[in-house]
Amino acid sequence: MEENVTATQEFAAEAVTEAVVPEKKKRKPINQQKLQDNIWGWVFCLPLIFGTVLFVYVALVMALLLSFTNYNIFSGGVWEFLGRMFSGDQSVFDMTMVSDRLQQGATYDPFYWYKYAFTEKVWNGPGDYCINNGIYVNAMGYTMFNTVFYLIGIPIGMVLSVFFAVCMSRDIKGGSVFRVLYYLPCVASTVAIIYTFKLMFGKTGVFNTLLGTDVPWIIDESYASWPAGNLFWSQGLLSKTMIVIMSVWKGLGGTIILYVAGLSGVNNATKEAAQIDGANGWTIFWKVTMPDLYPVIFYNVVTSVIGGMQIYAEPELFFTSSTQVNLYTSGYVSLIWFYGINDPRGAYASLGAAYGMILAVIIFVLTLFQFWLDSRKKD
């Protein structure tokens, strides 16, 4: 009897021990093929990750730090200068060294360049690009207006892209050929396209020859001989329109391809049900096709606004300026290049960095606003 009780107690003790101490999980065998795929995946991703970290995030932090200093192209190495900044050297904030841009009361002010960007006045009179008949103007305001004007091409390009994509998505003969033809401008060099447009819209170009006119579509260094007047609101708008036309034409192919891909994912069953209920083609397009196409539209709008706010090459190559920022047509990014690298009075990379930080904040706010509108639509 005692032996049975003892055996029962031992069995109960073992059961309690097993319940308290869980059994160790067996290690799954390593899938050699999956491990090899993961390793090769990281190998191919590392160059992109390294480049993004170095040329985006590290560069962004460095530009932010330099925007609070008086750093220029003669200040030595960037890392050495930042080392002085972190070691407590107050001379990096001494704005009295900026003699040609010094504003009254400026001494050791880390936010000097940001105040300067909003209050700077550039003289535009005889010998310069005569904005408002020769007065002092704010360069940031005029270039930002030009940049926003170029964004007009986004809704124009979106409407045209959707129209052509709907036409190409239909079962028509030669549809693939049209897709290739519309995509060709995306493959062509931007420089080649710009100079082609300059030949077409020059004073003696194709359009003026066909129309028998002498319209100055493109503003150039001969502006001083033009009639007096506020050319920013006349000739300037005409010249910027050329950039809008060229940008829409060049970017049409890429957005068409995206919309064609989006249209292939539209629910055909819903369209057929709408047709059975008596809906016409226009109603089906707005009530069925457009809602399914919305993710592609949203992606195109967000990326187009981000890219449009950074426009630089097109106006700079289309309308050359040998001495300063062309306030008629230059985009905001040209201020970063001119004041940070090419200013004959003395290029201050810190000022160019400040202009870059202001643009980064503007793009960030615009992107957040678009996502906020998107969230409201979903709600």
How far does CA 270 lie from the centroid of its chain? Answer: 36
pLDDT tens digits, residue range 87-114? 877 777 777 766 555 454 456 778 888 8
**What pLDDT score was predicted for residue 156?**
93
SS3 assignment for 75-100: CCCHHHHHHHHHCCCHHHHEHHHCHH
Nearest partner of 359 among 322, 332, 326, judged by Cα? 332
Which ranges of 264-332 does DSSP label H, i.e. alpha helix? 268-276, 281-284, 290-309, 313-318
Are 182 and 174 within 8 A, CB to CB? no
**What pLDDT score was predicted for residue 125?**
47
Task: Give dist(CA 100, CA 209) in Å, integer.
Answer: 47
**Which runs of E-coded beta strand occur in 134-231?**
135-137
**What pLDDT score was predicted for residue 12?**
55
The token pair that represents 192 in the structure block: 């080649």
Which DSSP symbol is given to 54?
A: I
The token pair that represents 215 in the structure block: 């319209």
State the helix-helix crossing angle for 139-150 and 290-309, rounded to 10 degrees: 150
CA angle, 104 then 108 then 110, to 5°? 105
Task: Give dist(CA 99, CA 77) in Å, integer.
Answer: 22
82 phi and psi angles, rounded to 5 deg: -65, -35
**What pLDDT score was predicted for residue 130?**
44
The model carries a pTM of: 0.79
Rg (the chain; Cα; Å): 31
pLDDT averaged over consecutive 10-residue blocks of the chain (379 residues)? 54 54 58 82 92 91 89 79 81 69 60 85 50 65 91 92 84 74 85 86 82 74 46 76 90 88 80 79 82 88 92 84 73 88 76 92 93 80
**What pLDDT score was predicted for residue 225?**
41
| Domains of the chain as residue ranges with CATH | 32-124 (no CATH), 131-378 (1.10.3720.10)
**What pLDDT score was predicted for residue 27?**
62
Please give the span between the terminal C-alpha atoms of the chain, in angstroms, as a whole number.
74
**What pLDDT score was predicted for residue 150?**
94
**What pLDDT score was predicted for residue 227?**
45
